[in-house]
Amino acid sequence: MNTDNTQNTPNPENPEQAEDGAPRVENVNPTGGVALPDLESFRKRLVNRQRRGSIWARFMSLSLVVAIVALLALAYNIVDAAFGYVLTENVIEPTEVVEFVLTDVRNDTTTDPATVDLATLGASELAAVLREYQEPRLRVYIRDFLSVVPDDEFTQAPIRESLAGSSFRGQFADLTINDLDAAEWTLILGNNIPQDRLVGLVRTEVIGERILETWSLTESVTGFAEIDEARVAAVEGQNPNARLEFRSWLNINFLISPMSTNPAIAGIRTALLGTLWVMIITVGFSFPLGVGAALYLQEYADDNWLTRVISTNIRNLAGVPSIIYGLLGLSVFVIALEGITTGRSILSASLTLGLLILPVMIVNSQEALRAVPPSVREGSYGLGATRWQTIWRSVLPAAMPGILTGTILGMSRAIGETAPLLALGASTFLVVDPSGPFSRFTVLPIQIYQWTSRPSDQWRSLASAAIIVLIILLLSLNAAAIYMRQRFRRKLQP
């Protein structure tokens, strides 16, 4: 088949022409008198047909390339900021603190301070450190961590009231905090604040690591000479103790430290816990509701105009901008139902996000139920099952993989939502772990949003590290979804 010379020939599609070159077409004429193109013009046209196909194929592969490039750019952007050199300086070096503890508290002059990690010191030792270096602020720490009365009453109230729930010596119960001396304050701090919190406090208040300058991963790799110049300049100038280190902003301390005003020690502990709490309650709320509504629509409700209107509008609800759910949550869960949800709590956030993903859950569950073959239902009814037995024992198990997939899709959406929680009034700065459905909360996307909106590079690096955590969380969710779906499928199929 030689078609080379036909590449550029314009090809008039004229069926009348077919008669002269194609005797074979005339012999058999199943087309009822319509002459098909002869072989010559068919070949000419075939070249165009094939070429049109390959143009589309090229366009489609191009779209894929664009998508991949965009994804890579995004990943680069995040990773670039999350790793790199930082220039830091401590107000007081950790070894100095450890040395103080060893000599003045433990009376141990033989151990080398460099071999003892700050984080291994005991609570009372850390309290002693705070007294040594920050004595005037001891009462502030007590107020921030232990006080249960409003800040302006703290100094006047007897500690029986202001420190209710904390331990202190009984004879001081009727005195105010100002009546006690530094030794007592130290005792109260050491006895009531958990050791890991005291470590954090010493890091912020005593050691006071400050980040002077940060560089991105690209800069760290390509421009070390400049970075070193900056270090030398700092050491010779105002920051003689400045140190250069390569820092992964994503590290264990980042995961387990609470939010802080100092980017050197700020972490996402509260946000991570908040996200976990919110997700658990969100799914616990929307899964039964979503599956229940889908079951009712699919299995019980008559197929009339009302159910069709409802079904269509549930689909529409899935496309409503999430900020609207936030406003709804604000006026219903935070304000109107404050007595139940205690206002801006994890419960309010969960219910709002639950409503947000409910349409997705219903629609996906409905699809999954619809995909259950009628033979499954017939088989069950044929054995004398009631409708509920049929649903519970046959239809639901068969639809479960699809329902779970829908649930995880909903969760993936909820976990990244920021706007509705902002509208709801999520805390942007929170150092206290959420302890239950009624706690105040912050979640990862809020934390990220809050960090990215700050001006300096350090916060952007923190935000990037938090984004990586969020993405890992999302990917593991999706992986869990795929795993569960496959497991269910394997159970259902031979």
- Contact residues for other proteins (CB under 8 A)? 302-303, 373, 375-386, 389, 393-394, 397-398, 491-494
Q: Which is nearer to other proteins, 377 or 460 (CB)?
A: 377
Lookup: tokens for 144: 């921030």
Q: Which is nearer to other proteins, 171 or 493 (CB)?
A: 493
165 CB burial (10 A radius; 0-12, 13-18, 19+): exposed
Q: Which is nearer to other proteins, 226 or 303 (CB)?
A: 303
Between the alpha carbon of residue 480 and those of residues 160, 196, 278, 361, the distances in Å are 50, 32, 18, 17
3-state secondary structure of 340: helix
Between CA 144 and CA 132 the distance in angstroms is 19
Q: Please state the closest distance from residue 387 (CB atom) to other proteins, in A.
A: 9
Report yes or no: 354 and 341 within 8 Å, Cβ to Cβ. Answer: no
End-to-end CA distance of the chain: 49
Q: Which is nearer to other proteins, 351 or 398 (CB)?
A: 398
Q: Torsions phi, psi of 15, nearest 5?
A: -60, -25
Between CA 166 and CA 305 the distance in angstroms is 63
Q: Which is nearer to other proteins, 308 or 491 (CB)?
A: 491
Q: Which is nearer to other proteins, 339 or 374 (CB)?
A: 374
Find the helix or strand (DSSP H, E) in which 396 lies.
Answer: helix 396-415
The C-alpha angle with vertex 436 and arms to 432 and 442, in degrees rounded to 5, equals 50
Q: Please state the closest distance from residue 382 (CB atom) to other proteins, in A.
A: 4
Report yes or no: 213 and 230 within 8 Å, Cβ to Cβ. Answer: yes
3-state secondary structure of 138: helix
Between CA 430 and CA 349 the distance in angstroms is 16
Q: Which is nearer to other proteins, 301 or 474 (CB)?
A: 301
Q: Which is nearer to other proteins, 120 or 386 (CB)?
A: 386
Q: Please state the closest distance from residue 402 (CB atom) to other proteins, in A.
A: 13
Report yes or no: 269 and 255 within 8 Å, Cβ to Cβ. Answer: yes
Q: Which is nearer to other proteins, 250 or 372 (CB)?
A: 372
Q: Please state the closest distance from residue 383 (CB atom) to other proteins, in A.
A: 4
Q: Which is nearer to other proteins, 172 or 381 (CB)?
A: 381
Report yes or no: 432 and 260 within 8 Å, Cβ to Cβ. Answer: no
Find the helix or strand (DSSP H, E) in which 201 lies.
Answer: helix 195-202
Q: Please state the closest distance from residue 307 (CB atom) to other proteins, in A.
A: 12
Q: Which is nearer to other proteins, 51 or 491 (CB)?
A: 491
324 CB burial (10 A radius; 0-12, 13-18, 19+): middle
Q: Please state the closest distance from residue 304 (CB atom) to other proteins, in A.
A: 10
Q: Please state the closest distance from residue 308 (CB atom) to other proteins, in A.
A: 14
Q: How many CB atoms lie within 10 A of CB 377?
A: 18
Closest CA to 192 of 208, 161, 169: 169
3-state secondary structure of 261: coil
Number of H helices, E strands in the chain: 23, 3
Q: Which amino acid, 427? A: S
Q: Please state the closest distance from residue 401 (CB atom) to other proteins, in A.
A: 11
Q: Please state the closest distance from residue 32 (CB atom) to other proteins, in A.
A: 24
Q: Please state the closest distance from residue 482 (CB atom) to other proteins, in A.
A: 19
Q: Which is nearer to other proteins, 237 or 382 (CB)?
A: 382
Lookup: tokens for 85: 């050199």
Q: In what order do the strands lie in the sheet with 243-248?
A: 210-214, 83-89, 243-248
Between the alpha carbon of residue 343 and those of residues 122, 234, 263, the distances in Å are 38, 48, 30
Q: Which is nearer to other proteins, 23 or 494 (CB)?
A: 494
Report yes or no: 268 and 255 within 8 Å, Cβ to Cβ. Answer: yes
